[in-house]
Amino acid sequence: MKEQELLSKFKKFPKPEKAATYGTAGFRTQGSQLPFVLFTVGILAVLRSKKLNGSMVGVMITASHNPHTDNGVKLVEPNGDMLVAEWENYAIQLANCKSPEELLNAVSMITTKEKIHHDKALVGIGRDTRPSGVGLLEAVKDGISIAGGDLKDFGVVTTPQCHYMVASLNAGLDATCDSYYKKLSDAWRIIVVRF
């Protein structure tokens, strides 16, 4: 963890007015309330990837069908599933840290408790077209950088595409929007032929 850089970034991002909570939809609220939360999500994604021996972990920045002023983020497991429930508490803990020291202590606690020793980490990031998405993307990237991870930016994608790309890349398969559409159309043809 780059501690000096963390101190300056901690001051850069405004903290949410209310406590951040992570549920089945990840973190969701007004986009303006999320920069610090997204910064800590970048850190957590790196820790999760390191815990899983460098497998890619995904981050999807979206609030789905919520109003355009909202935004959100959720983490994606290497197999394309949602973040395991045991790590949701870590997400909440990091997002609600009140000082750089508290954040460093929380990261240290997670690293020790989860016995994280792997050096490499890879995070894949997707986002939707909400106005706040570009700034939130930069916050996630800052968190990934400070925690010592590498990233792959998927650009503007849907949530299912992000999940697909993370799972496919971890399985050594082609992971593009074209391969996603081909998989969908092939599945549709199989259904149509059977029925």
Task: Just list the catalytic residues.
Answer: 64
Q: Which residues pair with 28 in a beta bridge?
A: 72
**CB of 153 closer than 8 Å to CB of 125:** yes
**CB of 27 closer than 8 Å to CB of 20:** yes
Residue 118: CB partners within 8 Å, gap ≥ 6? 50, 51, 53, 54
Rounded to whole angstroms, how far apart are CA atoms 8 and 145?
Answer: 13
Rounded to whole angstroms, how far apart are CA atoms 62 and 53?
Answer: 27
- CA neighbor of 87 nearest in space, from 128, 117, 45: 45
- CA neighbor of 6 nearest in space, from 41, 43, 35: 43
